[in-house]
Amino acid sequence: MTDQLPDRPGLRTVHQLRALTVDLDLLAAAFAQRNRLHPTDLRALIALLDAARTGTAATPGLLGRELRLNSAGTTAVLDRLERHGHLRRTRDPHDRRRVLLEVTEQAVALGETFFGPLIADTVALVDGLSPAELAAVEGFLTSMRTLVARHTD
């Protein structure tokens, strides 16, 4: 970005990666708008679907921490999702201060329409790679994550 030297492999890759993240953001934004969801609501839905998939108990507090929202903002997100029928709130019988969040079938279906085809295509793409290619791609992604993590402080 701050380097003008054209066509060094490293810079080309940086550019490709950045373009890809921008495209993914645009895709998410387009999907959100088409389904009358705010970007934050979509992020929340993704987090809740993840939790449901891994069997983790989701609560407003956890969600708010994940989305970097304070409690008031979290309540507002949940109100919107509940109003749109993507979410059910139930009191935790073991700790009656807590609220358990349950995504509805409708929300799961919505998530599948969004992620399903893209994931399927990506899996097909990855399955078409040779073992060496797969190793290179996975190594790159892993290295990038630790690298980004090191710059977040």
Residue 61 interacting partner from DNA, a copy of itself, none (CB closer than 5 to 8 Å by kind): DNA
Span of 52-60, 69-77, 83-91, 99-107 interacting with a copy of itself by CB under 8 A: 52-60
Contact between residue 68 and residue 58 where contact means Cβ atoms under 8 Å apart: no
Backbone angles phi, psi at 88, to 5 degrees: -125, 140
Could you tell me the two tokens for 151? 């710059």
Counts for the chain of helices (H) and strands (E), in that order: 6, 2
Q: Hey, which residues between 72 and 111 contact a copy of itself (CB under 8 A)?
A: 108, 111
Q: CA 50 to CA 41: how far, in whole Å?
A: 14
Q: What is the dihedral of CA 79, 81, 83, 88, to 10 degrees?
A: -90
Q: Rule CB under 8 A: is residue 20 a binding residue for a copy of itself? A: yes
d(CA 125, CA 149): 27
Instruction: Report the alpha-carbon distance of residue 74 to residue 64 in Å, rounded.
Output: 5
In terms of CB distance, is 91 or 121 closer to a copy of itself?
A: 121
Q: Which does 71 bind (CB under 5 to 8 A by kind): DNA, a copy of itself, none?
A: DNA
Residues numbered 60-99 forming contacts with DNA, rule: CB under 7 A? 60-62, 68-80, 89, 95-99
By the criterion CB under 7 A, which residues form the site for DNA? Answer: 38-40, 59-62, 68-80, 89, 95-99
By the criterion CB under 8 A, which residues form the site for a copy of itself? Answer: 1-4, 8-14, 16-17, 19-21, 23-27, 29-30, 49-51, 53-54, 56, 66, 68, 108, 111-112, 115-119, 121-127, 129, 132-134, 136-145, 147-152
